[in-house]
Homo-oligomer: A and B are copies of this chain.
């Protein structure tokens, strides 16, 4: 029986969102179903008229599938339970949203998001008895119950490439180069890119550091005859005193700029900082992200077909599975401080500043 699916992207964007949607639309089209896209997360349904559009396979030619970002737009500032009104007040518009979804005759909502978005969408689904399925995306890879979320692989590749470019110039000038990468609550990007990019020091929020220990490691590097070093730091890392970095405007990074003079002073090396920022989000997705995205998209439609709702598709043991969405958002997937990656890093001589 023909169905109507609504899809939306929510929270911070990343590489691979269009590939998820491409797969959903192609799979649904093959089943004879219709798909509508809601613009700007759920916010498109809180406008008059609804900011929605019919999606067909022609909207996802190869060019769009290969592209970063989301053709639907997204937002991380329009929580329907605390919707920011033009007058500056905040309003619960969840009932309006539920009504809109029913109004449109939608049989299933597939939301592509991270833990924050899923918490909101799951609450909405429960409140409105909505048939909801989640597809996990986050460059931070901090969603539990899935080995991988869409966008992480590309972000790490971009960060690794930056380290590849920083090494020659570090070596030429006898400097310590500091690369500040994203990672709000978990250090997965810094950890993976740090190992792949051959750094000397990785700073992640899961492992407290001291400037002294960083300096000690860099001194060891110097003693071994190498006159430069690479440091990668997750933006979420706190100061040695355990506090978040205070900068004039936190959105523009800060921990790199905070560390640079301190490391310079403690080691005698010149230091330089690169703040990658959103280039980690917008790149063309790697093959892994494109494959993961499409496998997730197909599975999400399969779940609709099977009538299984309240589920998040997930990647476990190299296959797509599905898990209860409420389980998926219970906790943040942080770096295991005794796992394979940290052990690998330490074994090849990388310091965590601890």
Contacts and interface: CB of A to CB of B under 8 A. Distances in A.
A170 B348 contact: no
Contacts of A172: 9, 13, 17, 69-70, 73-74, 282
Contact of A65 (B165, B198, B284, B340): B198
Please tell me the size bucket of the interface on A. 35 or more
A109 interface: no
Interface string A180-205: 00000000000011011110000000
* Most B Cβ at <10 Å: residue of A65, A165, A197: A165
Nearest to A298: B347
A144 interface: no
Contacts of A251: 260, 272
A210 interface: no
Given A158-B165, A252-B273, A298-B347, A339 B319 contact: yes
Nearest to A319: B340
Contacts of A166: 278-279, 282
Interface in A22-53: 22-23, 26-27, 30, 40
A91 interface: no
Contacts of A294: 195, 344, 348
A344 B274 contact: no
A167 B62 contact: yes
Contacts of A124: none
Interface string A48-73: 00000000011001110111111001
A10 to B, nearest CB: 11
A74 B227 CA distance: 12
A226 interface: yes
A26 B319 CA distance: 34
Closest 5 A-B residue pairs measured CB to CB?
A: A69-B168, A169-B282, A68-B168, A196-B287, A274-B277
8 contacts: A17-B172, A23-B348, A62-B198, A160-B287, A160-B290, A165-B279, A166-B278, A169-B278
Given A75-B174, A294-B348, 7 more contacts: A13-B169, A63-B167, A69-B171, A165-B284, A253-B273, A274-B278, A319-B339
